């Protein structure tokens, strides 16, 4: 179980507002990237986010660019998971590859509010908040393999080491 606070946003949160295009090719360090998180969506976020916090959003989170810093910056900011009704395809892959938990839960986003305290039971597929419980489906086995390895690079290293 892992506790955190909710930062709640709407539908179609795109990669430009998560990590602006003007920073994409600047090769920033992780701490600097964390400070750019959600700059054009919620300027208060980067300064106030705490390790373990959770982003909760509507449908199509991460739509737009393939820039994977949009997943990395949130992980560097300490976000433990993004809970959304659905994720854009490339964002979903990038997040998995970089070790940012992306949880698809249909009912939690409407019920949760900014500032809510929540706990996530990753193994059991449960989100708990103020006595309420929301389910999320476990990731597909082939994808879980990458997560278990600690991200795609580690997974690839293991694959290359196999005879």
Partner 1 sequence: MGLTFSEKILARKAGRPVRAGDVITASPDFYLSHDNSSAIIGEFKKLGLAKVKAPEKIVIILDHIVPAADEKYAQNHKTIREFVWAQSIPNFFDIQHGVCHQVLSESGFALPGRLIMGSDSHTTTYGAYGVFAAGIGRTEMASIWATDEIWLRVPETLRIEFAGDFPHGVFAKDAILKIIGDQGADRANYEAVEFAGPAAASFSLASRMVLANMAAEMGAKNGYFEPDELTLAWARKHGRGDFEPVRSDPDAAYEAVLQYDLSVLEPQIACPHTVDNVKPVREVAGKPFHQALLGTCTNGRFEDLEVAARILRGRSVHPHIRLLVLPASRAVYLEAMKAGLLETLSEAGGVILNPGCGPCLGAHEGLLAPGEVVVGTSNRNFKGRMGGRGSEIYLASPATVAASALEGKIADPRKYL
Number of other residues whose CB lies within 10 A of the CB of residue 139 = 19
User: Footprint of partner 1 on residues 68-107 (CB under 8 A)?
Assistant: 68, 71, 86, 88-90, 93-94, 97-98
Q: How far is CA 50 from the centre of its chain?
A: 14
**Span interacting with partner 1, options 74-82, 105-113, 128-136, 153-161, rule CB under 8 A:** 153-161
CB atoms within 10 A of CB 136: 22
Task: Give the binding range for partner 1 (CB under 8 A) out of 29-37, 101-109, 120-128, 149-157.
Answer: 149-157
Q: Which stretch binds partner 1 (CB under 8 A): 10-18, 30-38, 106-114, 116-124?
A: 10-18
Neighbours of 44 (CB within 10 A): 9
Q: Using CA of residue 130, residue 131, residue 137, residue 138, what is the dihedral sign?
A: positive
Indicate the burial class of 12 (C-beta count within 10 angstroms; 0-12, 13-18, 19 or more).
middle
Site for partner 1 in 15-74 (CB under 8 A): 15-17, 20-22, 24-27, 39-41, 59-60, 63-68, 71
Q: Smallest distance from the beta carbon of 146 to partner 1, in angstroms? A: 8
Radius of gyration of the chain (CA): 15
Minimum Å distance from CB 65 to partner 1? 5
CA angle 67, 65, 93 (to 5 degrees): 65
**Using rule CB under 8 A, residue 12 touches partner 1:** yes
Task: Confirm or reject binding of residue 2 to partner 1 (CB under 8 A).
Answer: no
Reduced to 3 states (helix: H, G, I; strand: E, B; else coil), residue 7 is: strand
Instruction: Report the interface residues with partner 1, using CB under 8 A.
Output: 12, 14-17, 20-22, 24-27, 39-41, 59-60, 63-68, 71, 86, 88-90, 93-94, 97-98, 140, 142, 151-153, 155-157, 159-160
């Amino acid at each position: 179980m892992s506790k955190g606070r909710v930062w709640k946003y709407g539908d179609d949160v795109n990669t430009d507002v998560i990590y602006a295009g003007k920073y994409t090719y600047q090769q920033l360090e992780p701490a600097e990237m964390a400070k750019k998180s959600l700059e054009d969506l919620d300027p208060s976020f980067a300064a106030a986010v705490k390790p373990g916090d959770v982003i909760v959003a509507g449908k199509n989170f991460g739509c737009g660019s393939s820039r994977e810093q949009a997943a990395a910056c949130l992980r560097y900011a300490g976000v433990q998971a993004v809970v959304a009704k659905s994720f854009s395809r490339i964002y979903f892959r990038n997040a998995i590859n970089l070790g940012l938990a992306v949880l698809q839960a249909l009912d939690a986003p409407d019920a949760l509010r900014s500032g809510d305290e929540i706990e996530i039971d990753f193994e059991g597929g449960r989100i708990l908040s103020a006595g309420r419980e929301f389910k999320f489906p476990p990731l597909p086995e082939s994808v879980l393999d990458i997560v278990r390895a600690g991200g795609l690079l580690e997974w690839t290293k293991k694959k290359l080491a196999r005879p």
